[in-house]
Amino acid sequence: MTFEFELQELGEGIEQADVVNVLVEEGHVIQAGQNVVELETEKAVVEVPCPEGGRVVKVHVAPGDKVSVGAAILTIETEKGGAVSEKKAAPAVEEAPAPSAEPEQPPVLEEEKPKAAPPPPPRAEEPAEEPLVTEPPPAESPKRRPAPAGPATRRLARELGVDLHQVSGSGPGGRITAEDVRAFVKKSMTAAMSGLGAAAPPPLPDFSQWGPVERQPLGAIRRKTAEHMAMAWQLVPHVTQYDAADITELEAVRKRYAVSRGDAPGKVTVTVLAVKAAMAALRAYPQFNASLDAAGGQLIFKKYYHIGVAVDTEHGLFVPVLRDVDRKSVVDLAVEIEQLAERARQRKLGLEEMKGGTFTITNLGGIGGTAFSPIVNYPEVAILGISRARKEQVVRQEQVEQRIMMPVSLSYDHRVIDGADGARFLRKICEVLSDPMQLLLEA
Amino acid sequence: MAENKTQETGLAVIGGGPGGYAAAFHAAEMGMKVTIVDSGSKLGGVCLNRGCIPSKALLHVAKLIQESKESADWGVKFAKPKIDVDALRAWKDGIIDKLASGVEQLAKRRNVEVIQARATFADSRTVSLKYEGQAPEGAPSHLSYEQAILATGSVPAMPGLFKIDDPRVMNSTGALELETIPKTLLVIGGGYIGLELGTMYAALGSKVTVVELTEGLLPGADRDLVRPLHTRLTGLFEGIFLNAKVEKLEVRKEGIAVFMSGSGAPAEEVFDRVLVSVGRWPNSMNLGLEATRVEVDEKGFVRIDAQRKTNDPSIYAIGDVAGQPMLAHKASREAKVAVEAASGQKSTFDNTAIPAVVFTDPEVAWCGLTETEARAQKQNVKVVRFPWAASGRAVTLARTEGLTKLIFDPESERVLGVGIVGPGAGELIAEGVLAVEMAAVARDLADTIHAHPTLSETIMESAEAFFGQATHLYRPKR
């Protein structure tokens, strides 16, 4: 029996993916559940298993293809019986045995495949034979169906100029009600007024008039990052505070510890310690560990501490989230960050692993720079940026001393956080980082 | 002779059938000045005069006759009925007259002017009027309008092969005139018209044979819905030949000689009468459309957009002349859309479920997505069937051959299509149409109370079966 394997939904709202790798070939025999393709979605590379086993008759995709949910991936000749199995050369056998009263192909069944399950014996009642038939998934993506809305709702949408395909339905099975249409209109108006649905940018000039150019398509990850950054920038009134942490003692301790740990996994880096320092600050200033519900007029305080750490890879920017940092030791966090970063570099991070953060840290110190103004990772309200630490001459207690100073930048949402609190929060982080004992006690 | 006079109107409706008069009345309600131009002596078009209405009246009689034979099984035996064809014809004509005069009254009450003439377009804003016989006193020669709705309908298709100029070769119009009950009748074309008229004549006493080109009756309908009908018609008709073709017709004194080819069909046989029911052609020819910007496609349908506007901004088109399906109720819905669009509203024809009903016995009715379409479009659907053998009501009617089926989207559980075969399917389908149009989900149908004992329960139980089990039908777990 032929089975058309087509792409099922990959995740909420994800309609498309790029084919990175095809893991099987025509002629291969695969097991049910075996991974057959690798797809890149917005933020992750996902392996997709085929639910049926059998011989691969045709592979419909190649690396580089863009596929939508519903697209054909493979055609397989399964081992299941009840059909003309030896004549599998005919790809025209596209349908499952027709649901009908009469036993469809009993004579064929007798000769072929002894391991095939025999069809249920025909009963006295006729169409009761095949009462429930689920058709095998179709090869092509189905035609777009009309949006699910009754005539009255459709009329309302027409009058208001609303495209029903854009409206999410609150009714059963996603049915769109008149209320949904009105809510959509309200939302669009509000968004337009808040500038989110901003006017389209002026058209680009033809750059080639000034010199040679080359066009490259944006990858899925870059596209998603661009959208996220634009949205966060438009929505959040950003302020950035700058400060510097004296990490002389911390560095000394950290280096000693590194020597004693040797090559054990979980290198304790400045980032790891910064996570703990940030956590201490978040505990002291809970409004930094919250999200703003502007429409509802509420601040949502989170009672958990999940800190995202930005990882720069050749494929783009990823922010895996460390969960419950208050319950993990420094070493635990060090090991986890290492693993997440490695998976990020291999693009094996799951989408879920990048969701649910309450605060974000981005460390560019490894590369260099003196300070920068990171963009708040909406819907969080603050983000900590770290730049390169360096030896500086600092006046301490009337004496000039050489200390290692690490510049830190804190961007925050000024709708939620005022300057004074911003300064306090950042000062707290610096204080904790400047005293290893305090770090131990508070984090 | 009509005077060389141009009458003016706001909305000219060309054709007074179910599309035309619905449009005219709706427009009048909205305050427009409306004129209907219809070439027939009575309003109502084909539907009222030569189609839907007379055929349903006669099919009602046919059903009665058939049932009177079956009742012998139940302890009530009737003698063979005496059929007075003239009385039957008069009764049928009486119904037509009554309904046509009803439409006329409605037109009068709504101040809709009716001109009985043949309209031909002189330009985008004018039609010339040709009268049959003597033109009435003061009748205008032309009608000019702001906007027009073309609702000229369709005619029975008569391919050249069958045009042998003998009154014993009829189309549906001739068949419904019920001139006589032929001893033998060949129905060419196993679609709904052929089967309905064949059923009618068979009940009245003709030996009816059906020859169909494709591999099944009612091409386009799901096979599981046709099967019970085919089985019952096998008992009623002399013969049903599928995958068969009529090669030639010849006039003979004793009847029409028919030469057929294809599986099982007799190579040559003589029939008293032949009914040609192979389809209908849209009435877009000889209307002078070349004088306007209206465009017609290769099948003869007028090209329209979602608002039923043609390529000419002054002219709309609805009903059979504007496209498939050629159904009266599609025309009347389009009528409302076109009138609203003509009055400047943002109306669109966006119905998702147009019911189709075949008034044979058993009736067959469906709406929305059919299983046949779902397969052809490779859509992922879940089909649930409820056999009427498990319906108490069906057993009381001694009609358990029926079937109710629902077609669902497995993800959203939404009803995409409904199909029913069995007595009363034509009425039962209304619930299905509403369900599809309202984007109902399986729960909506399953959890709504349906009166007992009725055939409508089969719809509810089919929906219940979507979730695994229906009360009156046991399905072993797979």
Which chain B residue has the Cα nearest residue A142? Answer: B379
- What pLDDT was estimated at residue A261? 84
Judged by CB atoms closer than 8 Å, whether chains meet at B346 and A158 is answered as: yes
Are A146 and B352 a contacting pair at CB < 8 A? yes
Is A99 in contact with B385 (Cβ distance < 8 A)? yes
A175 touches chain B (CB under 8 A): yes
> A-chain residues within 8 Å CB-CB of B412?
148, 173-174
Per-domain residue ranges of chain A: 2-129, 151-190, 221-442
- Give the mean pLDDT of A337-355: 89
* Residue of chain B nearest A100, judged by CA positions: B224
Q: Please report the pLDDT score of residue A94 as a whole number.
A: 35
Q: What is the pLDDT of residue A13?
A: 58
Residue in chain A closest to B409 (alpha carbons) equals: A173
Q: Given pLDDT bands bounded at 50, 70 and 90, which one contains residue A172?
A: confident
User: H/E/C letters for each residue in chain A?
Assistant: CEEEEECCCCCCCCCEEEEEEECCCCCCEECCCCEEEEEECCCCEEEEECCCCEEEEEECCCCCCEEECCCEEEEEECCCCCCCCCCCCCCCCCCCCCCCCCCCCHHHHHHCCCCCCCCCCCCCCCHHHCCEEECCCCCCCCCCCCCCECHHHHHHHHHHCCCHHHCCCCCHHHCECHHHHHHHHHHHHHHHHCCCCCCCCCCCCCHHHCCCCCCCCCCHHHHHHHHHHHHHHHHCCEEEEEEEEECHHHHHHHHHHHHHHCCCCCCCCHHHHHHHHHHHHHHHCHHHHEEEECCCCEEEECCCCCEEECEEECCEEECCEECCHHHCCHHHHHHHHHHHHHHHHCCCCCHHHHCCCCEEEEECCCCCCCCCCCCCCCCCCEEEEECCCEEEEEEECCEEEEEEEEEEEEEEECCCCCHHHHHHHHHHHHHHHHCHHHHHHHC
Q: With a CB-CB cutoff of 8 Å, which residues 67-106 of chain A face chain B?
A: 94-95, 98-101
Give φ, ψ of A194 to 5 degrees: -80, 0
B232, B379, B407, best to mutate vs chain A, most A CBs in 10 Å:
B379
Per-residue confidence band for A196, with pLDDT thresholds at 50, 70 and 90 = low
Active site residue: A28, A228, A315, A414, which one? A414
pLDDT-derived band at A114 (thresholds 50, 70, 90) equals very low
| pLDDT at A117 > cutoff 80 | no
Structure confidence at residue A203 (pLDDT): 82
The answer, for A352 touching chain B at a CB cutoff of 8 Å, is no
Whether A106 has a pLDDT exceeding 80, the answer reads: no
**Range name among A90-94, A308-312, A351-355, B391-395 with the lowest pLDDT average:** A90-94
Instruction: Give percent of chain A above pLDDT 70.
Output: 80
State the pLDDT at residue A137.
Answer: 39
User: Angle at Cα A320 formed by Cα A318 and Cα A324, nearest 5°?
Assistant: 160
Set of chain B residues whose Cβ sits within 8 Å of the Cβ of A125: 387, 389-390
Regarding the domain delimited by A2-129, which CATH topology (the fold level of the hierarchy) does it fall under?
OB fold (Dihydrolipoamide Acetyltransferase, E2P) (2.40.50)
Q: How far is A184 from chain B (nearest CA, A)?
A: 19
Q: For residue A143, what pLDDT is reported? A: 56
Domains of chain B (ranges, CATH numbers):
6-53+87-155+281-342 (3.50.50.60), 160-278 (3.50.50.60), 356-466 (3.30.390.30)
Disruptive mutation site among A6, A7, A93, A126 for chain B (greatest number of B CBs within 10 Å): A126
**pLDDT of chain B, 478 residues: tens digit per residue:** 567 899 999 999 999 999 999 999 999 999 999 999 999 999 999 999 999 999 999 999 999 999 999 999 999 999 999 999 999 999 999 999 999 999 999 999 999 999 999 999 999 999 999 999 888 889 999 999 999 999 999 999 999 999 999 999 999 999 999 999 999 999 999 999 999 999 999 999 999 999 999 999 999 999 999 999 999 999 999 999 999 999 999 999 999 999 999 989 999 999 999 999 999 999 999 999 999 999 999 999 999 999 999 999 999 999 999 999 999 999 999 999 999 999 999 999 999 999 999 999 999 999 999 999 999 999 999 999 999 999 999 999 999 999 999 999 998 899 999 999 999 999 999 999 999 999 999 999 999 999 999 999 999 999 999 998 888 887 766 4
* pTM of the shown model: 0.62
- Which residues from chain B sit within 8 angstroms of residue A175, using beta carbons? 414, 438-441
Per-residue confidence (pLDDT) for residue A195, from 0 to 100: 61
Asked if B447 reaches chain A (Cβ–Cβ under 8 Å), the answer is no
- For chain A positions 127-146, those within 8 Å of chain B (CB to CB) are 127-128, 130-135, 137-140, 142-143, 145-146
Q: What is the pLDDT of residue A194?
A: 65
* pLDDT tens, residue by residue, A360-414: 999 999 899 999 999 999 999 999 999 999 999 999 889 999 999 999 999 999 9
Provide the terminal-to-terminal Cα distance of chain A, rounded to the nearest Å.
61
| Alpha-carbon gap: A59 to the closest alpha carbon of chain B (Å) | 18
Of the partner residues B378, B381, B385, the one whose CB lies closest to the CB of residue A127: B385
Domain A221-442 in CATH: superfamily? Answer: Chloramphenicol acetyltransferase-like domain (3.30.559.10)
Chain A contact present for B451, CB below 8 A: no
Task: Give the mean model confidence (pLDDT) for residues A37-55.
Answer: 74
CB contact under 8 A, B380 and A135: yes
pLDDT of amino acid A232: 93
Question: Is any Cβ of chain A less than 8 angstroms from the Cβ of B231?
Answer: no
User: Cα separation of B195 and A60, whole Å?
Assistant: 45
Q: Which residues of A touch B389 (CB under 8 A)?
A: 125-126, 128
Compute CA distances A301 → A293, A295, A360, whole Å.
11, 16, 16
Packed helices B223-236 and B192-204: angle between N→C axes, nearest 10 degrees: 30
Q: Is there a contact between B383 and A126 if contact means CB atoms under 8 Å apart?
A: no
**CB–CB of A126 and B387 under 8 A?**
yes
Q: Which of A75, A143, A175 to mutate to test the interface with B (most CBs of B within 10 A)?
A: A175
Q: pLDDT tens digits for A48-101?
A: 878 788 888 888 888 778 888 788 888 888 765 433 333 333 333 333 333 333
Chain B neighbors of A123, CB-CB under 8 A: none
- CB of B473 within 8 Å of any CB in chain A? yes
Q: Residues A151-190: name the CATH superfamily.
A: E3-binding domain (4.10.320.10)
pLDDT of residue A396: 86
- Chain A residues with CB under 8 Å of B416 CB are 145
**Is the CB of B374 inside 8 Å of chain A's CB atoms?**
yes
Give the pLDDT of residue A98. Answer: 36
Annotation marks residue B230 as catalytic? no
- Segment A32-43 mean pLDDT: 74
Average pLDDT for residues A119-143, to the nearest whole number? Answer: 39
pLDDT for the residue A85? 37
Q: Does A418 touch chain B if contact means CB atoms closer than 8 Å?
A: no
Give the per-residue pLDDT at B76: 96
